Structure 1
Amino acid sequence: MTNGINTRELILEILLEIEEEGRHSHIAIRNALSKYQFLPRQERAFITRVCEGTLEYRILIDYIIDSYSKVTVDKMKPAIREILRSGVYQIKFMDSVPDSAVCNEAVKLAQRKGFYNLKPFVNGVLRTIAREYKNLELPSREQDLVRFLSVKYSMPENLVNRWLEAYGEEKTEMILAEFLKEKPVTVRCRIHKYPQEEIYRSLTEQGVKVTPAPYLSYAYEISDYNHILALDAFIQGKIQVQDVSSMLVAEVADPKKGDYIIDMCAAPGGKSLHVGDKMGDYGTVDARDVSQQKVDLIEENINRLDSINVQARVMDATVFDVDSELKADIVLADVPCSGYGVIGKKPEIKYRVTPQKQEEIVILQRTILDRAAEYVKPGGVLVFSTCTIAKEENEENMMWFMNNHPFKLESLDPFLPQELHSETTALGYLQLLPGVHKTDGFFIAKFRRK
């Protein structure tokens, strides 16, 4: 406890906010840590790890709890359920915390939350698990592959099934294993404006561990820092947080000085600012998104990076803008998607998408692509991208688009590093898979208007 803040109570509040209120995990954690900025680095790291880990391994954790509790997880009160889940996570995955301390703190927390009569239950379940969980066997791989993979990698069975059909057993297991690995923060160095050595030096002088990111020479993976908002390179606009897969969009778009570019769904602005940088502050990037809140995020980044050729405005990508018809040299359509490719960073995604939501997403994507097509001038480029690995959102939408619009695919190979070249990139599209490639799951297709 620091300054009257009970760390485990804060963890419980974050988990309930994510589970009961549907908040995104990274936002709930960020908001809590921003509210209590005085917490020591070690406690901030503990809160983040327990929250993310409990969420990430929920299916495996529930399997363990249900194996030792007379009351199943789905019948428990929300607070008790999250107290037990976070306790099991610490017991199984955090050797630095003694099991006895985990049990004692969980019992105290149950009492603090008014569940005095459930203290023996919480204590009994956690102590039994601490004593016996190492003897618990997973479901049989031979008898039920889907159930085995679901429990082992904490992935809902419907998604395991979907990826087994799309990618086969070997690739699916690579994807599932990759989602559970710790993800470094990746940043784009703004090398058109600042020498890369200067950016590297600024980061390392503040104690940041810096390693080259895969595929692009101007990208770094950074770790061992307390808060990115305290890094000089970030404050001064020398770096932008962005995954390499997202940076590849600007490479594929290949903007020229003076181009007019429309980014249809731009928030928080990473791609808009990247293409703006690649044009050397010439031309115009019209960064649009559906709400003022999202546009505020873009403008926050525009101001921090002091970008002079990117402008942000509220505009619904599904509504036709007559003033933009056939005007753009390049249109970026990074459409809303299921987000399966970033489950490693936002684990709550895997528990929230339903078949109905999936169908609604595809309809929304096609509506936006219809609009995007109308803005590309003759001979201009449309770059379609998503952060998912769902074929109906990616390859199937790509084929639908070509069948309904006067566009053709154009090879990505001139714009990609050699190690990403494949049969599909020569045709004009790239599906990045976690575990197979060294990035988030991501899809990019490049079309040129006939």
Structure 2
Amino acid sequence: MADNINTRAIVYDMLMSVEKENTPSHLLLSQTLMKYQYLDKRDRAFISRLFRGTLEYEIFLDGVIRQFSSVRLNKIKPPIKAILRMSVYQILKMDHIPDAAACDEAVKLTRKRGLKNLSGFVNGVLRNISRNKEVIHYPDPEKTPAAYISMRYSVPEWLAKMWIRDYGFEMTAEMGQAMLDDQKTTVRVRDSQNMAAVKEALRSEGLHIEEGCMLPEALHLSGYDYLGNVGPFADGRITAQDESAMLAAVAAGIAGGESIIDVCAAPGGKSMHMADILKGSGQVSARDLTEAKVLKIQENLKRTGLKNVSAEVKDALVFYPEDAQKADIVMADLPCSGLGVMGRKADIKRSVTPEKITALAALQREILSVVQHYVKPGGVLVYSTCTVSKAENEENMQWFEEHFPFGLESLDAYVPEKVRNEHTKAGWIQILPGQYQSDGFFIARFRCSRDEGAE
């Protein structure tokens, strides 16, 4: 470890930033690893795992603390709660960390943060957990299945209830475990003709490569420190994109030469994918709500060198008459609750609520009501989200078909054979977290049936 750098203190400060300021955890981790890029690779890996793990397992960790603390969890001060959580994670989930070291470092950190009078409490709780970690109790899965899922897989209990209702106990357990498993970094090789050269370049930099599960252009990568420093990423030959998200552009059925509008495009993954499929023909208009989001799109376009994509600030809730019936394809990958990517963004577990899902479903309907005007007669609208919520997915899909001149069209001509089923034949697919080694994702393909010139 570098002199005078306490990696546990760094993680503690990150956890408190999430607690106090609701800083997005993935952005905070990225910024922190950039700040401390001079640290040894093992120290950076420790920071990453302890921070992400503490957030991912927070509900489980709280359940354990409740069992061994004489003070009710809601009465424990937030700084002490953060120290306990990260220390319990080390004791229960990081086998290479001696329990005594986790306890001792927690006590030191408590004192350094001006909470010396609570160091005895911290020490007592952690030593108690260390001595009794083989007898941690879970709720009864038969009597209270949602409570069991909640603690065992660290998901909000209301969400466990919703998923058990919609997908059953076993599938909910599988989703819960998938979100706790190590999340793969998936990239898309932008030109299939470069596949062999890209693989060789990645291997020459010491990366481990696995083939994608659904699409030939997908690769799973591991063994790197910072993706931005990986040669084929820096020079634009690959771009980071989960395989389930790649299916959205595939589902659009691009033949070449199309005019495409991507209405909520940042950071630009789907826009770039569609532009690559166009192979220099046609045009993609990539839009988003703020300058900051459009800047992210522009950064990716600069890295990849794509010329048939424009990036501009446009509000998806505002109708732009000049765009009416101009698009062969509208990509509507809309704001959602993000339940399908909780494995990558653990703070979603803290922020999502049933009320937010209801509000987001309503927002999606508002956006769809506007952007459907941009599709030419006979054109295609792809509706997608990175969530697993019937209100945001199947129910909105049905609502859209009922209210506008669009009909669902089979995905089977576009998606890989291994994902085809009765749903893809009907025009939609719900990928669950971990299924096909990917994030949770929803896609529906619609064909516009309005008459020429009709609104």
Q: Output the CA distance in 2 between the equivalents of 1:286 and 1:448.
A: 20
Q: Which amino acid in structure 1 is aligned with residue 98 of structure 2?
A: P
CA contact (8 A) 2:289 2:313 kept: yes
| Distance in structure 1 (CA, Å) of the matches to 2:246 and 2:356 | 28
Q: Map residues 123-272 of structure 1 onto 2, 5 A cutoff.
A: 123-191=123-191, 195-272=194-271
Task: Give distance in 2, aligned partners of 1:12 and 1:315.
Answer: 39
Contact 2:214/2:436 (CA < 8 Å) preserved in 1? no
What is the SS of the residue equivalent to 1:65? helix
The amino acid of 2:225's aligned partner reads: N
> Which residue identity does 1:264 align to in structure 2?
V
Do the aligned partners of residues 3 and 299 (structure 1) sit closer, same or farther apart at CA in structure 2, a change above 3 Å counting? Answer: farther
Alignment of 1:244-323 (within 5 A): 244-323=243-322
Q: What corresponds to 2:75 in structure 1?
A: 75
Could you tell me which amino acid in structure 1 is paired with residue 417 of structure 2?
Q
Amino acid at match of 1:398: M
Give the match for residue 357 of structure 1.
356
Aligned twin of 1:62: 62
TM-score by length of 2: 0.97
SS in 2 for 1:16: helix
Q: Which residue is equivalent to 1:116?
A: 116
1:144 is aligned with what amino acid? T
CA distance in 1, matches of 2:185, 2:153: 22
Alpha-carbon shift at residue 316 of structure 1 (Å): 0.7
Tell me the residue number matched to 2:418: 419
Matched residues in 1 for 2:232 and 2:315: separation?
33
Shift of the alpha carbon at 1:46? Answer: 0.5
**Deviation (angstroms), 1:386:** 0.3
What is the letter of the counterpart of residue 252 of structure 1?
A: A
What is the match of residue 20 of structure 2?
Answer: 20
Name structure 1 gaps, 5 residues minimum.
Answer: none
Amino acid at match of 2:126: L
Asked if the contact 1:372/1:382 (under 8 Å) is kept, the reply is: no
Q: Which moved more, 1:2-11 or 1:329-338?
A: 2-11
**Residue 9 (structure 1) aligned with residue 9 (structure 2):** yes
Rounded Cα–Cα distance in structure 2 between residues aligned with 1:19 and 1:428:
41
When structure 1 is superposed on structure 2, of 346-355 and 292-301 the one drifting more is: 346-355
**Structure 2: any 5+ residue segments left out of the alignment?**
450-455
Equivalent pair of 1:410/1:448 in contact (CA under 8 Å): yes
Match of 1:385 in 2: 384
CA separation in 1, counterparts of 2:29 and 2:248? 29
CA distance in 2, matches of 1:149, 1:355: 18
Amino acid at match of 2:310: Q
User: Are 2:358 and 2:391, in contact at CA under 8 Å, matched by a contact in 1?
Assistant: no
> Does the 8 Å contact 2:36/2:44 carry over to 1?
no
* Distance in 1 between residues matched to 2:156 and 2:177, nearest whole Å: 14
Preserved contact between residue 412 and residue 424 of structure 2 (Cα < 8 Å): yes
Tell which deviates more after alignment, 298-307 or 113-122.
113-122
Instruction: Give the drift of 1:3.
Output: 4.1
What are the Cα deviations for residues 161-185 of structure 1, in whole angstroms up to 9, with x where unaligned? 1011111122111111211111110
User: Match of 2:197, as an amino acid?
Assistant: E
Deviation at 1:71, TM superposition (A): 1.3
Q: RMSD across aligned C-alpha pairs, in angstroms?
A: 1.1
Q: Report the equivalent of 1:376.
A: 375
- Partner of 1:195, secondary structure, is helix
Off by >4 Å, runs of 4+ in structure 1: none
Amino acid at match of 1:14: M
Q: What SS does the corresponding residue of 1:413 show, helix, strand or coil?
A: coil
Q: Deviations over 1:256-302 (max 9, x none)?
A: 32211000000000000000000001211100000011001100100
Distance in 2 between residues matched to 1:142 and 1:360, nearest whole Å = 33
On the 8 A contact 1:389/1:441 being kept in 2, the answer is yes
Query: In 2, distance between residues paired with 1:10 and 1:271?
Result: 35
How far apart, CA to CA, are the structure 1 residues paired with 2:145 and 2:273? 43
CA contact (8 A) 1:174 1:436 kept: no
Displacement of 1:435: 3.8
* CA distance in structure 2 between the partners assigned to 1:322 and 1:437 by the alignment: 41
Q: Is the 8 A contact 2:383 2:445 kept in 1?
A: yes
- For residues 195 and 273 of structure 1, what CA distance do their matches in structure 2 show? 17
Measured in 2, the distance between the counterparts of 1:48 and 1:378 equals: 49
Task: Determine the structure 1 residue equivalent to 2:345.
Answer: 346
Tell me the SS of whatever aligns to 1:388: coil
Equivalent residue letter for 1:177: Q
Which has the higher mean CA deviation after the structures are superposed, 268-277 or 350-359?
350-359
Q: Which amino acid aligns with 2:307?
A: I
Q: What is the CA–CA distance in structure 1 between the aligned matches of 2:164 and 2:364, rounded to whole Å? A: 24
TM-superposition CA deviations, 1:372-418 (whole Å, max 9, x none): 21000111110000001100100100010011100111110011111
Cα deviations by residue, 1:343-379 (Å, 9 ceiling, x for unpaired): 1111111221122211210111001111121000111
Preserved contact between residue 213 and residue 221 of structure 1 (Cα < 8 Å): yes
User: Structure 2: how far apart are the matches of 1:71 and 1:165?
Assistant: 34
Q: After superposition, what is the alpha-carbon deviation per residue over 1:292-350, rounded to whole angstroms, capped at 9, x for unaligned? A: 11001100100000011111111111111111100001000000001111111111112
Query: Given that residues 145 and 169 in structure 2 are in contact (C-alpha distance below 8 angstroms), is that contact kept between their aligned partners in structure 1?
Result: no
Tell me the alpha carbon deviations over residues 111-148 of structure 1, each in whole angstroms, 9 at most, x when there is no partner. 11111111111111111111112112212122211111
Alpha-carbon distance in 2 for matches of 1:90, 1:313 = 45
| Counterparts of 1:197 and 1:355, CA distance in 2 | 46
SS state at 2:89 partner:
helix
Deviation track 1:65-109 (CA, whole Å, cap 9, x = no partner) reads: 111111122211111110110000000011111111111111111
The match for 2:452 is none
Distance in 2 (alpha carbons) for counterparts of 1:143 and 1:250: 44
Secondary structure of the residue aligned to 2:300 is helix
Count, aligned residues = 449
- Find the counterpart in structure 1 of residue 92 from structure 2: 92
**Residues in 2 aligned to 1:205 and 1:352: alpha-carbon distance in whole angstroms:** 41
Q: Distance in 2 between matches of 1:8 and 1:370?
A: 49
